[in-house]
Chain A
Amino acid sequence: MSLEQFKNRNVGVQSYKTLDVGTPPKTGMEKFTQVVKRSVKGELFVGLGVVMKRMLEALFKNDMHTVKYPFEKMPISPRYRAIHEMLRLLESGNYRCIGCGLCEKICISNCISMETRYDENQRKEVSEYTINFGRCIFCGYCAEVCPELAIVHGQRYETASEQRAGFSLFEDMLTPIDQLNLQQEFDGFGAVSPNADDNIKQTPLAY
């Protein structure tokens, strides 16, 4: 592909149909006539009527059409990419993160930073892990690359903060150990596909 073509993002075959929206008024007189016509037609009251009906339903039939944010929140699609979570192994409660550093490497805005150490069991362990949410663009690459399903996107989408640079530490994102039973498997970006088992090839074992 040449650079020209590459830059032209409008590459699909264009088969849209344009709706017949009539012709917009041109002269001042035409515009004036249109305004007067619409005002006198009474469409305004149709709208007001709908609102009144909904209000009455809400007041007397307990049939609400809005949620009381921030006390109530809409469920969000698992594919939504909100603030990250760090998951634990369900059986042992150990960190799933093995400290491989792939997320740190792949992160497109360079906002993950981590430290690892040689632990008492001669294993590699993450000792520090932070994400700078002032820079994160929620692209989901980190969750996709993680071989352990350790870093995933969670449901916490409110990211307003007083400072531009908001850091999250490992403990902030980690499933609290006493809530391990509430830990949800992540279905979103980078999660195992439903047919994952079919794609796995077993490493040969001699016994």
Chain B
Amino acid sequence: MCTHNSINSGKEITLTIDGKVCKSTFGKTILEIARENDIYIPTMCYLTKVKSIASCRMCIVNVDGVDGAILSCQERATDGAVVTTNSEDLYAERQSIMKLYNVNHPLECGVCDKSGECELQNKTMEFGLAEQPFTARDQSRPVENWGYVSYDPALCIMCEKCVRVSTEITGDEALQLQFGGYSSKIVNTQIDKNYSTLGEAASVCPVGALVDTNFKYTTNAWELSKIPSACHHCSAGCQMNYEVKNDTIYRITNNFEFTSLCGAGRYGFDYANKGVTKDSEAFNRAVEAMKSAKSIIFSSQISNEEAYILQKIKELTGAKLISNEARAYQKFMQAYSSVTGKHLYNGNLKAISNSTAIIVLGSRVNDDAPMVKYHINMASKWNRARVAYMHPIEDVEMKNLVTQFMKYEAGSEEGVSALLVDTLLKDIDVPKDVRAFLDDLDIGNLSAGSNIGEEEFELLKKSMIKKRDFSLVIGADLYTHPRATQIAKIIALVEKYTNFNVVCIPPSSNAMGVSLICDLDDEADEYSVGYNAKANFTLSALGDGDLDMPALNQQEGTMVTIDKRLVPMNVAQPYGGYILNDIANAMGIGARYTIDYTKSLPLEKGFRGVEFDALDDYFTATGDEKRGYLLELHETPTEDNFEEIEELDGFDGAVIYNCNPKDQFSPFTNLCSTIKDESKLVGSSQFAIVTKLQDGDSVSFTVNGIEFKRLFRIEPSMKGTIAINPIYDMGLSTPLVSYYRFNKVQIIKEEKKED
């Protein structure tokens, strides 16, 4: 159940709904309790994941002793109430509401995208309306194409769900209601931004008013079969369904009542490795390569089972396992657990949305982890949460949520963490050695080095005084920092000695799973085999390797999400080639299917030894998540030893920050034709001056040994001398880039060709 609706939860209450005695807790609405007890109350505007909208009046009920009907979606249940959800009067009133909804509604179910899953259609049938009895003078209301979604005002029933989602959940705040009697409509105030997050608004639209443009009119809803899965583009692992007909994915849907997707999850489905057949020669070469490989380099966008197979291969041949991002995260979390004594962090997304004060450190969270941003936004909208955003680059997309932006110098993360922890632990009892470490900090010096003033931390402290639930979000900038282990230990103090909900965002989709399953190594040796990463012999699901592999929507498997939950993924697209398990089998590591390994995932790392086919994948009627299972938390040995904070060479001058735009995560999202993004280097005009570049210049530069050729664009909303460089489009080289995200580089301006 949506916890934001149950503020004063705890007190037991008993009420009677339609003669059934229902026990619940105070704070829930009548509708929520009815749903908990499987009692049906019709609704049109109710959406569990947002605050009640109360625009439709369909949910009216009678309560004994109360005059007139009350809205069950809004009214908190009281102890002893006797509720009637249906009577002749209520039915008649609901029927007249439906008559009003049908006024001037175009009779176009025959071509409407929503037909078959339309709330208006269903309720019109349910309330037995065979005709439209009234009408109003109509006017021309043309369809508006907004980019990812298009809007047909003639079909809109003004339920407001889309507006609420855009404000309370995704936080793009693009949609607004425009009142005007029968010409009321929804307006998009940000058409030029073409937010892909509007896909979330479209998914909750109960009618065909707001629909995905790329899906519009391509098929009827009932022709599609739903394949439940998890989105693996980032570590949020959101619940979703592939909707498939004739082996083609037509769209992605989700359980929008309780969960959301980001733009990549919603529109990035078209990346399968298609038309692959079994090439036995290439396969034999791959087996030989794997046998003789000294190291296996891979991107952590693989399933747990594949990671487990790689670990088995390592145990067999002694090859090193190299996955940079997962390795950095693994080391970070090991250092972190050495302080907290738990092998995983304590936080999760839901706790973020319930917080009243949130600190984000080391992540451009709107781009890195959209689901984290959504949850911060929910906290901001529901609890008016204080949000402190600590990062070297300001993000305009976060402006309406962030209450305090704390800009620090790139590279000074260690000092910043120390200052932050010092602030948070100020009045808290901590062991002597920790206190000694904190007291020893040279605050003035650290403050100067990181460029955050002491008064900013004081402000932060002050703003958190009257708040009750706290979250700290840690991002990928810290994992790859040269002093990552020290930073991890400092941050871990927050989890250990305060009641903060701490989340360390895994840097890529299954980095957490990989870091738990594999013994990773630091440096690769020649001769190497790559899995979705460039190496001497490359296995690739991107279609350009030495042997083809299936993409993650072409195989079964599991992944571990940011919520520390193992979730199943299923097959949505056919695949005719060889898979990693075939190679392992040829090497004598035998399992019939890849998913036979699901139950063997290491128990000591929190996996529960459940078979793939026994994993649940659903939400209950009240929104309890029953997807896969939560990893068990294990105790780890602790050791508190802190080093002195190291002075860092400053990052002055032009710096480049590796960061993908918000709908792009990896070479897989890059393959999707439905996501529109141009990969370019964007910087402020200040950056342009420092580097002597002009808007539209072609530049080249090298980061971590990988050469980038990019178009440079000046982004007027940016400030400072750090430019943003996407890495998602580098194909098999992308997994090789993941070192510290800030880099000082030599930018070479390419000669413009005269034409």
Q: Is the CB of B217 within 8 A of A204?
A: no
Q: Are B135 and A203 in contact (CB under 8 A)?
A: yes
Closest A residue to B111 by CB, please name it.
A124
A202: nearest chain-B partner, CB-CB: B131
Q: Indicate if the CB atoms of B217 and A118 lie closer than 8 Å.
A: yes
The residue in chain B whose Cβ has the minimal distance to the Cβ of A113 is B246
A115 / chain B contacts, CB cutoff of 8 Å: 218-219
Among candidates A122, A125, A201, residue contacting B143 with C-beta atoms closer than 8 Å: A122
8 Å CB interface, B121-164 against A: 131-138, 143
Contact A147:B110 (CB < 8 A) given known A206-B136, A206-B137, A207-B137: yes
Bound CA–CA A118/B136 (angstroms): 29
A116 within 8 Å of B (CB atoms): yes
**In whole angstroms, what is the CA distance A98 to B107 when docked?**
13
- Distance A201 CA – B138 CA, assembled complex (angstroms): 20
Whether A118 touches B216, Cβ cut-off 8 Å, given contacts A203-B131, A206-B137, is yes
**B194-245, CB < 8 A from A:** 213, 216-220, 222-223
Q: Whose C-beta in chain A lies nearest to the C-beta of B113?
A: A124
Tally of contacts, chain A with chain B, CB under 8 A:
53
Question: Is A144 an interface position by the 8 A CB rule?
Answer: no
Residues of B within 8 A of A100 (CB): 110-111, 115, 220
Partner of A206, one of B133, B138, B213: B138
Q: Collect the chain A residues with CB atoms within 8 Å of residue B110's CB.
A: 98, 100, 102, 147-148
Which residues of B have CB within 8 Å of A116?
A: 217-219
Assess the B218–A203 pair: CB atoms within 8 A: no
Instruction: Give A58 to B4 CA distance when docked, in angstroms.
Output: 94
Question: Is A201's CB under 8 angstroms from B216's CB?
Answer: no
- On whether A124 and B217 interact (CB within 8 A), knowing A98-B111, A203-B107, the answer reads yes
Return chain B residues, CB-CB under 8 Å to A99. 111, 217
Residues of chain B within 8 A of A125, CB atoms compared:
217
| Interfacial chain B residues near A104, Cβ < 8 Å | 220, 223
| Neighbouring A residues of B138 by C-beta, 8 Å | 206
Q: Give min CB distance, A148 to chain B, whole Å.
A: 8
Chain A contacts for B143, CB-based, 8 A? 122
Interface 0/1 of A81-101, CB less than 8 Å to B: 000000000000000001111
CB neighbours of A98 from chain B (8 A): 110-111
Inter-chain contacts of B136 with A (CB < 8 A): 206
Residues of A within 8 A of B218 (CB): 115-118
A156 touches B (CB below 8 Å) = no
Decide: B132 and A204 in contact? CB cutoff 8 A: yes
Inter-chain contact A201/B131, CB cutoff 8 Å: yes
Question: Chain B interface secondary structure, helix, strand, loop or mixed?
Answer: loop
Query: CB-CB < 8 A to A201: which residues of B?
Result: 131
| Residues in chain B near residue A207, CB distance under 8 A | 137
Q: Which residues of B contact A122 (CB under 8 A)?
A: 143
Residue from the list A102, A124, A147, A204 in contact with B134, Cβ < 8 A: A204
A102 to B217, CA, bound (A): 14
- The smallest beta-carbon distance between A50 and chain B, in angstroms, is 58
Q: How far is the CA of A207 from the CA of B223 in the complex (A)?
A: 39
Q: Please give the distance in Å from A88's CB to the nearest CB on chain B.
A: 17
Interfacial residues of chain A within 137-181, with CB under 8 A of chain B in the complex: 147-148
Chain B 489-501, CB-CB to A under 8 Å as 1, else 0, gives: 0000000000000
Residue of B nearest to A104 (CB): B223
Q: Which residues of A contact B137 (CB under 8 A)?
A: 206-207
Shortest Cβ distance from residue B267 to the other chain A in the assembled complex, whole angstroms: 16
A68 lies within 8 A of chain B by Cβ: no
Residue of B nearest to A127 (CB): B218
Interface residues of B in 384-414 (CB under 8 A from A): none
Q: Does A182 contact B (CB under 8 A)?
A: no
Given contacts A147-B110, A203-B107, A206-B138, contact A101 B132 (CB under 8 A): no
Q: CB distance B107 to A123 under 8 Å? A: no
A206 to B138, CA, bound (A): 8
Question: Is A205 an interface residue when CB atoms closer than 8 A count as contact?
Answer: yes
Known contacts A123-B111, A203-B132, A203-B135: does B217 contact A105 (CB below 8 Å)? no
* A105 interface neighbour in B132, B213, B222, Cβ under 8 Å: B222
Q: Which of B131, B137, B219 has the most CB of A within 10 A?
A: B219
- Chain B minimum-CB-distance residue to A116: B217
**Distance (whole angstroms) from the CB of B416 to the closest CB of chain A:** 50
Whether B223 pairs with A205 at a CB distance below 8 angstroms is no
For the complex, what is the distance from the CA of A178 to the CA of B207, rounded to whole Å? 40
**Residue of B132, B217, B223 touching A117 (CB-CB under 8 A):** B217
> Once the chains are docked, how many angstroms separate the CA of A146 from the CA of B133?
25
Complex Cα distance, B213 from A117, in Å, reads 11
* Residues of chain A contacted by B135 (CB below 8 angstroms): 203-206
A102: nearest chain-B partner, CB-CB: B110
Would you give the shortest CB distance from A188 to chain B, in whole angstroms? Answer: 22
Please indicate the chain A residues that have their CB under 8 angstroms from the CB of B111 in the complex. 98-100, 123-124
CA A180 – CA B443 in complex, angstroms?
88
Q: How far does the alpha carbon of A98 sit from the alpha carbon of B108 in the complex, in Å?
A: 10
Min CB–CB distance B291 → chain A (angstroms): 47
A147: which B residues are within 8 A, CB to CB? 110
Q: How far is the CB of B144 from chain A (nearest CB, A)?
A: 10
Q: Mark A103-128, 1 if CB is under 8 A from B, else 0.
A: 01100000000011111001111000
Contacts of A124 in B (CB 8 A): 111, 217
In the assembled complex, how far is the CB of residue A175 from the closest CB belonging to chain B, in whole angstroms? 21
Interface string of A71-89 (1 = CB under 8 A from B): 0000000000000000000
Instruction: Give CA–CA (A122, B145) in the complex, Å.
Output: 10
Residue of A nearest to B134 (CB): A204
Residue with the greatest number of chain A CB neighbours at <10 A, chosen from B107, B134, B217, B219: B217
Question: Shortest Cβ distance from B111 into chain A, in angstroms?
Answer: 4
Please state if B216 and A101 are interface contacts (CB–CB under 8 Å): no
Instruction: Quote the shortest CB–CB distance from B505 to chain A (angstroms).
Output: 38
- Please, which residues of chain B bring their CB within 8 A of the CB of A117? 217-218
CA distance A34 to B133 in the complex (A): 78
Interface residues of chain B, those whose CB is within 8 Å of chain A, are 107, 110-111, 115, 131-138, 143, 213, 216-220, 222-223
Provide 9 A-B residue pairs closer than 8 Å at the C-beta atoms, listed in order of the A residue: A101-B219, A115-B219, A118-B217, A123-B111, A123-B217, A125-B217, A203-B132, A204-B133, A206-B138
> Assuming A101-B223, A118-B213, A206-B135, what are 19 further A-B pairs, CB within 8 angstroms?
A98-B110, A98-B111, A99-B217, A100-B110, A100-B115, A101-B220, A101-B222, A115-B219, A116-B218, A116-B219, A119-B217, A122-B143, A124-B111, A147-B110, A148-B110, A201-B131, A203-B107, A203-B131, A203-B135
Q: Enumerate chain A interface residues (CB-CB to B < 8 A).
A: 98-102, 104-105, 115-119, 122-125, 147-148, 201, 203-207
Q: Which 6 pairs between the two chains have the least Cβ-Cβ distance?
A: A100-B110, A124-B217, A124-B111, A101-B220, A118-B217, A206-B137
